[in-house]
A and B are shown apart, each in its own frame.
Chain A
Amino acid sequence: MPTNDSRRIALLRSQLAIRVFEEAVRDQHAAGLIPGAVHLSIGHEGAIAGACAALADDDYVIGSHRSHGHPIAKGADFGRLMAELMGRVGGVCKGKGGSMHLTDHSVGVMGESGIVGGGLPLAAGVALSAKVLGNGRVCLCFFGDGASNEGSFHESLNLAAIWKLPVVYLCENNLYGATTPARSVVAVEDIADRAASYAIPGVVVDGQDAEAVFAVVTEGVERARRGEGPSLIEAKTYRFGEHAEGLMIPVAYRDEAEVERWKLRDPVTMLRARLIGEGVISAEGAEALEAELKQQVAAAVAFAQDSPHPESEAALEDVYSHPIAGGGR
């Protein structure tokens, strides 16, 4: 068992890893090396790292289009994630998934749905398999505030509740679905209130506090593992950047003061200061941790840039388990 201190340092490391990786993604996207739409998790690190820290290595994760943080927090290889973002052969999905779909089965990240709400039923199914096969695993499902208005959210919570499936539904509520304020399109005060409809626990947690997230997700995971069914956890968080990189939205849909207020509650800075303040890690130790991660991410960028672009022929592969006549393979 890890000591409490080593666990807290690992949590800081996990958050820092997401931050450092995402900053590199932002730069590589701006430099034109990452094509397509890129949704960064900067600002969400507390919710993601805190939640994943509550899982065992062989537990499952299902996620959303804002996908990069989930596999990082589950321990995926930075190089293969970065290569995927650049559409290279060495990418975790061989260049067929990209930014919205960073899937890595080797660490239990089973899928990231580019369709908002698409992952919630899948997570119920992943949990169903764990229950039927009796393997003791739990599924953690990330989704956003927008997905909580999808029918799939309600159908999935109901299904998971009636069959007491081992799943924790974790809403990364960053208060906006693209540019639409959640408060203007969600009928309840808190998304966690929706748990009442399915007679399951619904908990609101400060998503900027990774340790608080860790604590409530741990309760949800333990409950799931005991066979008592799903939980709905709403982590209130904020994305520090635009909905997607490079988007130029001509209307100020977020108040500048609101953005600045949230940035004062940077989840990485907060945990770092707390751990230094409590003597869990020294300031130098935290700096060394960050420097080490920067080095690893720089190596990942180099790996990705060196990874070959796929041959056009590869576009026809992986459609079916075995090639079929007259179509993709």
Chain B
Amino acid sequence: MNTASPLKSHNAREISYFQAIFEAHQEEMFRDERVVMIGEDISLYARAGILDARLEQRIFSAPISENGFCGMGVGAAMTGLRPIVDLTIASFIYLAMDPIVNQAAKIRYMTGGQATIPIVFRAAMWHAGANAAHHSDRPYPMLMNAPGLKIVVPATPADVKGLLKSAIRDDDPVVVFEDHSLWFRSGPVPEGEHLTPLGVASVVRPGDDVTLVAIGGARTVALEAAAALADEGCSVEVIDPRSLVPLDRPAILGSLERTGRLVIADPANRTCSAASEIAAIAAEEAFHGLKAPIVRITTPDVPIPFSPRLENPLYPAAADIVDAVRRLR
């Protein structure tokens, strides 16, 4: 459970998700000189004043070589640096599957624990922006199937800052999947040091009738749905897992024990989505307490089309969630 919700913080100010990302970078780069950045077009950040110019020496603005520079990050992590590798857009991760899945995820294990790979891969999911199928994937479920990686899906400025800082300090490879549609939304972020632990869910809205687990950007629509349902007298508990690996099972199962109803909203494609895994855990661990079938609200199994008229209806929407919850009662 989230006991240190930024929403309850006494000294929070509002900044954007994007600003929160770079606050995290800057704080960690000043705190630890082993932290370096590797990625495409990133020298802009120091030159534009988004990052302190004194950090420029540790910003490696790379050629378009995802396989090369992700693998470079892994080698650097193995020998004393703590790289933050920016993949720019999550769909580009496929070009670096060998360094991420075969190397970063497995090297500690394959070397019998000799290697430590403290690396962060940032992948921004540019869906819902009319960018078509080569720029719009939400590929975190694939990587949930790669043991050795940790995966976070922050949905607020406070969480992206807190999780990114924790990820940079973590001794394992962490992939941070950012929802690009959140980049320029603002929210409260505490002043000063703010760390969000990996593997700890946030109960965003308490409730008693239905457990609604919202992954990444689905948190926004989940809260809209919960508000609409409250007007109908239905009390929905909204849980943002924030971290998919490790996953805060007790938070989800504990809520489900009280509500007996589970809806999961996940912007990923349906088959083997994060929602699928959470549904399976619930079916295995909480079956006898279920009062209704588990429902997954996901994106259908199609590549993302270009036309906004085609694209936008594909993702989980508040109305879909409201309909699903109504059917459970």
Contact = CB atoms under 8 A, between A and B. Distances in A.
Interface stretch (A110-118, A169-177, A207-215): A110-118
Contact of A103 (B110, B147, B171): B110
16 contacts: A62-B75, A91-B112, A92-B112, A92-B114, A93-B114, A111-B111, A115-B98, A122-B71, A125-B71, A125-B74, A156-B68, A159-B65, A322-B171, A326-B246, A327-B245, A327-B246
Given A127-B75, A326-B281, 12 more contacts: A60-B79, A103-B114, A124-B75, A125-B72, A125-B81, A126-B78, A152-B71, A159-B65, A319-B108, A324-B150, A324-B246, A326-B247
Given A125-B79, A319-B109, A155 B148 contact: no
Given A159-B63, A324-B199, A325-B247, A105 B114 contact: yes
A122 B116 CA distance: 13
Size range of the chain A interface in the assembly? 35 or more
B45 interface: no
A326 B248 CA distance: 9
Contacts of B116: 321
Please name the 3 residue pairs, one residue from A and one from B, whose CB atoms are nearest each other, closest first: A121-B71, A125-B75, A155-B68
A110 B78 contact: yes
B130 interface: no
A144 interface: no
B245 A96 contact: no
A128 B60 contact: yes
B289 to A, nearest CB: 19
A307 B86 CA distance: 44
Nearest to A102: B111
A162 B69 CA distance: 12
Contact of B103 (A91, A93, A118, A130): A118
Interface string B88-108: 000000000011001100011
Contacts of B172: 320-321
Contacts of B150: 320, 324
B194 interface: no
B213 to A, nearest CB: 15
Contacts of A96: 109-112
Contact of A158 (B68, B148, B245): B68
A132 B103 contact: no
Interface of B: 34, 36, 58, 60, 62-63, 65, 67-81, 83, 98-99, 102-103, 107-116, 147-148, 150, 170-172, 199, 245-249, 281
A52 interface: no
Contacts of A94: 112-113
B76 A159 contact: no
A122 B150 CA distance: 20
Contacts of A60: 79
Contacts of B103: 111, 113, 115, 118, 122
A129 B111 contact: no
Given A97-B110, A110-B79, A133-B81, A159 B69 contact: yes
Contacts of B68: 121, 124, 151-152, 155-156, 158-159
B65 A129 contact: no
A128 B111 contact: no
Given A320-B172, A321-B171, A97 B76 contact: no
Nearest to B78: A110
Interface string A50-79: 000000000010100000000000000000
Given A159-B65, A327-B147, A328-B147, A128 B75 contact: yes
A120 interface: yes
A126 B71 CA distance: 10
A129 B82 CA distance: 9
Interface in A273-329: 317-322, 324-328
A123 interface: yes
A121 B245 CA distance: 26
Nearest to A135: B80
A120 B71 contact: yes
Contacts of B81: 125, 128-129, 132-133
A115 B111 CA distance: 15
Given A118-B103, A122-B72, A159-B72, A95 B67 contact: no
Contacts of A101: 110-111
Contacts of B75: 62, 110, 121-129, 139
Contacts of B36: 128, 132
Contact of B71 (A118, A319, A328): A118
A115 B103 CA distance: 9
Contacts of A155: 63, 65, 67-69
A163 interface: yes
Nearest to B198: A324
Contacts of A110: 75, 78-79, 115
Contact of A129 (B71, B80, B249): B80
Contacts of B77: 125
Contacts of A115: 98, 102-103
A139 B112 CA distance: 22
Nearest to B63: A158
B109 A318 contact: yes
B113 A318 contact: yes
Nearest to A320: B172
A118 B110 CA distance: 14
Nearest to A133: B80
Contacts of A111: 78, 103, 107, 111, 115
A121 B147 contact: no
B261 to A, nearest CB: 22
A278 B124 CA distance: 64
B112 A97 contact: yes
A121 to B, nearest CB: 2
A16 B11 CA distance: 69
